[in-house]
Amino acid sequence: MKPTLLILAAGMGSRFGGLKQVEPVGPNGEAIIDYTIYDAIRAGFGKVVFIIRESFADAFREKFDAKLKGKIEVEYVYQELDNLPAGFSLPEGREKPWGTGHAILVAKDAIKEPFCALNADDFYGKKAYQVMADFLTSSPNENEYSMVGYQLNKTLSDFGSVSRGLCDVDENDLLVKIVETTKIFKKGDAVISMEDDGRETLLTGNESASMNIWGFKPSLFATLEEKFTEFLKTEINKPKSEIYIPSVVFEIIQEGKGTVKVLKADSPWFGVTYQDDKPLVVNKINQLIEAGEYPHKLWD
Asked if residue 65 is part of any domain, the answer here is yes
Gap between the Cα atoms of 67 and 52, Å rounded:
19
Question: Residues 241-255: pLDDT tens digits?
Answer: 999 898 899 999 999
Asked if residue 162 is part of any domain, the answer here is no
Q: How does residue 15 score in pLDDT terms, banded at 50, 70 and 90?
A: very low
Question: Residues 133-183: pLDDT tens digits?
Answer: 999 999 999 999 999 999 898 888 888 888 888 899 999 999 999 887 889
Question: Residues 242-295: pLDDT tens digits?
Answer: 998 988 999 999 999 999 999 988 888 888 777 788 898 999 999 999 999 999
Rounded to the nearest integer, the mean pLDDT of the chain is 91
Asked if residue 216 is part of any domain, the answer here is yes
Asked if residue 195 is part of any domain, the answer here is no
pLDDT of residue 19: 62
Q: Which of 242, 171, 188, 184 is nearest to 210 (CA)?
A: 184
Cα dist from 113 to 26, 46, 221, 236, 286, whole Å: 31, 10, 12, 31, 34
Between 1 and 260, the higher pLDDT residue: 260
pLDDT of residue 291: 96
Q: How does residue 231 score in pLDDT terms, banded at 50, 70 and 90?
A: very high
> What's the average model confidence in pLDDT over 100-123?
96
Asked if residue 297 is part of any domain, the answer here is no
> What's the average model confidence in pLDDT over 24-39?
95
Q: Which of 104, 291, 107 is nearest to 213 (CA)?
A: 104
Q: Structural domain of residue 284, as residue ranges?
A: 4-149+209-243+260-290
Please count the other Cβ atoms lying within 10 Å of the Cβ belonging to residue 239: 11
Q: Return the SS3 of 29.
A: coil
CATH number (domain holding residue 47): 3.90.550.10
Gap between the Cα atoms of 291 and 293, Å rounded:
6
Please count the other Cβ atoms lying within 10 Å of the Cβ belonging to residue 196: 7
Measured at the CA of 15, the angle between CA 274 and CA 127, to 5 degrees, comes to 50
| Phi, psi dihedrals of residue 23, rounded to the nearest 5° | -65, 125
Asked if residue 168 is part of any domain, the answer here is no
Question: Residues 179-212: pLDDT tens digits?
Answer: 878 899 998 889 999 988 888 999 998 888 888 9
Asked if residue 163 is part of any domain, the answer here is no
Q: Count of domains in the chain?
A: 1
Asked if residue 170 is part of any domain, the answer here is no
Between 85 and 23, the higher pLDDT residue: 85
pTM reported for the whole predicted model: 0.90
pLDDT of residue 20: 65
Cα dist from 254 to 112, 218, 219, 278, whole Å: 26, 20, 17, 38
Between 201 and 217, the higher pLDDT residue: 217
pLDDT of residue 17: 41
